[in-house]
């Protein structure tokens, strides 16, 4: 099975004037990614609208099958690659911080609502999701979805590892001064859970938020296959099934677990 070429779009900073601005930039990034052989393009958390919406969050939210999703489906079908992107999702009276994964012919592959909300800002404007593991298959690899703060919880990533996720796709909005998450935590998560982690961050500033950039593809051997700087950038790197199999054979963390010992009071583990 050939490697999966993954593009990470570390998009421009600032809240876009309209969603159409984000979609135009996504279309351009998808064209460049496809020309470089990518089969998957990952955009940041709340990519369609920008992160710092504040009181406008609810009015900018749209349903999972809304106009933004329809536009991304056309982009995917036109360029022949899958796209994962973040957006504020309206579900009845609730608003979720969600990521939508669209396949290379424009079909919906998966949809995930952020389960761990970061800080008072997110808890004010969003309702957390309740489904911890959402997956889809692409070109023979099992993709899993999380959003930003989710990946900082070892339980969330381990749940994906136990469910067989090969590539964990993480749209994010990592802020300064927490660069250590991108530099240190992500390679450790990839190593301890034997998976690739595709982490696409925002860049620049929005209101009081300064984003760290540093998007990356972390590999199961603990190496970082590609790393962005602090500005707008499009990375392309490969998730290699052969390396994944070899790393899992050498590193037997998952097989050597003793879940019968992991029962702190008030928690359950499988």
Q: Which of 148, 152, 206, 238 is catalytic?
A: 148
Q: Which of 62, 76, 89, 114 is catalytic?
A: 114
Residue 74: asked if its preceding bond is cis (omega within 30°), the reply is no
- Alpha carbons 141 and 137: distance in angstroms, whole number: 6
- Alpha carbons 60 and 64: distance in angstroms, whole number: 13
CA nearest neighbour of 74 among 102, 101, 100:
102
- Alpha carbons 96 and 51: distance in angstroms, whole number: 13
Q: Is 60 a catalytic residue?
A: no
Q: Which of 45, 62, 89, 233 is catalytic?
A: 45
| 3-state helix/strand/coil string of 92-123 | CCEEEEEEEEECCCCCEEEEEECCCCCHHHHH
Q: Is 76 a catalytic residue?
A: no
Q: Is 45 a catalytic residue?
A: yes
Which residues are annotated as catalytic?
A: 45, 114, 148
């Amino acid at each position: 099975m050939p490697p999966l070429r993954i593009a990470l779009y570390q998009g421009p900073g600032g809240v876009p004037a309209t969603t159409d601005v984000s979609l135009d930039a996504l279309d351009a990034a998808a064209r460049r990614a496809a020309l470089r052989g990518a089969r998957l393009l990952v955009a940041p958390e709340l990519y369609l609208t920008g992160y710092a919406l504040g009181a406008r969050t609810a009015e900018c939210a749209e349903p999972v099958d809304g106009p933004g999703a329809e536009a991304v489906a056309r982009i995917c079908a036109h360029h022949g690659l899958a796209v994962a992107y973040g957006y504020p999702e309206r579900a009845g009276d609730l608003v979720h911080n969600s990521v939508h994964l669209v396949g290379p012919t424009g079909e919906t592959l998966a949809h995930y609502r952020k389960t761990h909300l970061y800080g008072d800002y997110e808890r004010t404007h969003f309702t957390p999701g309740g489904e911890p593991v959402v997956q889809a298959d692409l070109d023979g690899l099992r993709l899993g979805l999380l959003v930003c703060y989710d990946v900082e919880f070892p339980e969330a990533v381990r749940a994906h590892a136990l469910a067989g996720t090969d590539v964990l796709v993480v749209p994010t909005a990592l802020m300064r001064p927490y660069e250590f998450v991108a530099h240190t935590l992500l390679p450790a998560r990839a190593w301890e859970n034997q998976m690739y982690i595709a982490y696409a961050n925002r860049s620049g500033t929005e209101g009081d938020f300064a984003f760290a950039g540093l998007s990356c593809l972390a590999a199961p051997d603990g190496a970082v296959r590609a790393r962005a700087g602090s500005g707008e950038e499009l990375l392309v790197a490969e998730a290699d099934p052969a390396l994944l199999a070899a790393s899992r054979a050498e590193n037997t963390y998952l097989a050597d677990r003793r879940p019968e010992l992991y029962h702190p009071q008030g928690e359950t583990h499988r």
